A and B are shown apart, each in its own frame.
Chain A
Amino acid sequence: MPLVMIVYYVICLFIAGMLVWNFAREKDDRQMMLLYLVVLVPLVLRLLRIN
């Protein structure tokens, strides 16, 4: 795997981590909770090398 691809996976992991962190911190706004999770889906599928 080329270095640039590894860097992109690291960025992907970082963004996914931020989304999880923000989801965990969100206490009231259900729409924002759902939004964090929906945005997380393609990142998880990419990190698991599914799509």
Chain B
Amino acid sequence: MSRSGPVKGLLVAVVASVAAVAGAQFHQHRHQRLPIVAGPAVARVASLSEYGEGLARTMADTKVFFLQGAEPGGSALIMAGTHANEIDALLSALIFVENAVVEKGTLIVIPQLNHSASVYTRPGDGCPLFYGIETPWGTKVFRFGDRGASPLDQWPDPDVYVHYPDAQLLSFLDARNTNRSWPGRPDGLLTERVTAAVMRLLAEERVDIALDLHGAETMFPVTNCIVAPERSMRIATMASMTVTAMEGFENHVEPSPKGFRGLSHREIGDHSDTAPFLLEAPFPFLDQPTGPKTRDLLMTGRDPFLLSLAGQQKLFVPYDESGWPIEKRVGQHCSVALEIINQFSRKRADRAIRISEVPRYADLVRNGVGFYFHDPSKADPARVHLD
């Protein structure tokens, strides 16, 4: 054996141990599935690949829940997980899936639209791989995902992302962002195949309104709001005014810019008969000037640096020592989504959608988010779906 042999052996052992520990954690994150208990209204659970063959047997394939009413009516789609690190969207969508009773019409929910992003991490940002929501029956564990699809599923990134079909030049990062890939194409990038499949779902299921749930930085002006194009503006305005007046939280409407392509609130409206809405709730975890990206920050939204910035009027939302807890953020999403569906149903009685048993803002602030999740170990196994 050479003189350096023992040193090399030791170094290989140390580095291999570190790689094995990290690799095991990454592997668990990529392959752990989220149990979703289908609520009383769930009549069918499909895969998105049924609307886009190019997604079959890929990590981008995801579950689609159809909540059917007893009476025929209109159809609404709720999408979450467009950005898998904006967790309030997923939690809100699951509250609909596990609790909603649909009396009229159809509600379709896609909890993890960019499924590939939900099995990826935020390298270098020190973000947690998992987070837990306390429930009456224990802690429900969720994967913490990323903004874009995993490079294991779509790689390499181009130098410049050329949007289809408008040929607008966008950041290379946005090639893996499903909120820059609308309306998509069936044979395009993986993210384009996801949005193309949803466009086909919108047409085949005659979806009247589509709600895309997000979270936004408190230092970003497009937060605490509904982003709506021209055709959705009236309903968005009525919904925003109603929740602001009746439920005690601030909300406003932002017009969808015509010149910024690839976003759901722009392209769905331009390429289908569906009226799109993008909902933003304040999500302090995304802000850059915060302390460590801990699970506590994820849940409470409390951060001393943001508090200091709030004192200097640098934030676009009210912010105090209580932060922006998850109950408020999810509550806002649930209330705004319900109110948009309500306002649409008032405007289009022939296509009305009536939903009950979904908590609103005050219910979530009072009871917490976990109160509305059901124990998969006690549920009928046929009603538990792994996503």
Contacts and interface: CB of A to CB of B under 8 A. Distances in A.
Interface of A: 4-5, 8, 23, 26-28, 30, 33-34, 37-38, 40-41, 44-46, 48-51
A4 B155 CA distance: 8
Contacts of B274: none
List 6 tightest A-B contacts by C-beta distance, closest first. Answer: A51-B26, A37-B15, A41-B19, A50-B23, A50-B26, A27-B4
Contact of B11 (A8, A30, A46, A51): A30
B152 A49 contact: yes
B30 A50 contact: yes
Interface of B: 2-4, 7-8, 11-12, 15, 18-19, 22-23, 26-27, 30, 121, 123, 152, 155-156
A33 B3 CA distance: 14
A34 B11 contact: yes
Contact of B2 (A27, A38, A48, A51): A27
25 contacts: A4-B156, A5-B155, A8-B155, A23-B8, A26-B4, A27-B2, A27-B3, A28-B4, A30-B7, A30-B11, A33-B4, A34-B15, A37-B12, A37-B15, A40-B15, A41-B15, A41-B18, A41-B22, A44-B19, A49-B152, A50-B26, A50-B27, A51-B22, A51-B23, A51-B152
Nearest to A38: B15
A5 B15 CA distance: 27
B156 A5 contact: yes
A50 B19 CA distance: 11
Contacts of A23: 8
A33 B8 CA distance: 7
A48 B371 CA distance: 40
A49 B156 CA distance: 14
Contact of B22 (A45, A46, A49): A45
